[in-house]
Amino acid sequence: MKQPAMIDLLAAGGPRREYQNELMLYGQFVGSWDIESTWFSPDGASHTGKGEWHFGWILGGMGVQDILFRRGSDPSEYGTSLRCYNPKEGVWHISWMQPASGEFVELVGKGVGGRIVQEGRGTDPKRRQSATASAITPISFLWLGEVWFDGGLTWVKEQQMTGRRRPER
């Protein structure tokens, strides 16, 4: 008998029923998005790029995983987030990783008003990160990434992304 592929074991058809409302915080992004991104340097310079962000249900519907990449990049440069809901705490535990750049970040996410706020730390203990999704509609969103190195006195905008949902095929 053929063994199931790992990706088939990971994938789920939708949110777990008993937590469906809570799971839609990130579940609303399931599907494919075109991304326009701007990265900001500490010296005030910036550069832009286009990419794709794909979201899907995983782990029996208790999580959402994504793949994020710049168009034209090699798959070894892709990044992924694993987001799983913790019903005991009412928050999401999130791991972002992009091995090619050495970026590994642990965050906690929750809904705050009509926004999604994620905060946490990566491998640099002096660096704290925040990512906020706002202006969320069924077809678009704004994503803002900020960092600080001074105990939270000065948040610095590091990245801004706008997403536009791709039509389903």
Mean pLDDT of 100-108: 94
d(CA 62, CA 29): 14
Lowest-confidence segment of 33-42, 82-91, 118-127, 132-141 by average pLDDT? 118-127
- Residue 115: CATH number of its domain: 2.40.128.20
For 7, the enclosing helix (H) or strand (E) is helix 6-10
User: Which tens digits make up the pLDDT trace of 48-80?
Assistant: 999 999 999 999 999 999 999 999 999 999 999
50 CB-contact burial (10 Å; exposed 0-12 / middle 13-18 / buried 19+): exposed
Question: Between 46 and 44, where is the model more confident?
Answer: 46
Domain for residue 32, yes or no?
Answer: yes
Look at the pTM and tell me if it is higher than 0.85: yes
Domain for residue 55, yes or no?
Answer: yes
What pLDDT is recorded for position 67?
Answer: 97
d(CA 147, CA 130): 6
* Total domains in the fold of the chain: 1
Domain for residue 1, yes or no?
Answer: no
d(CA 117, CA 126): 20
What pLDDT is recorded for position 3?
Answer: 78
User: Which tens digits make up the pLDDT trace of 113-156?
Assistant: 999 999 999 888 888 899 999 999 999 999 999 988 777 778 88
d(CA 140, CA 71): 19
Domain range for residue 128? Answer: 6-41+48-165
What pLDDT is recorded for position 165?
Answer: 98
C-beta of residue 81 within 8 angstroms of C-beta of residue 96: yes
Which of helix, strand or coil describes residue 150? Answer: coil
Mean pLDDT of 37-41: 94
d(CA 115, CA 95): 19
Any idea what the Cα angle at residue 40 is, between residues 137 and 99, rounded to 5°? 85
How far is C-alpha 114 from the geometric centre of its chain's CA atoms?
17
Mean pLDDT of 20-31: 97
Mean pLDDT of 6-27: 95
pLDDT band at 30 (very low <50, low <70, confident <90, very high): very high
Tokens of 165: 């949902």
Tokens of 86: 């913790």
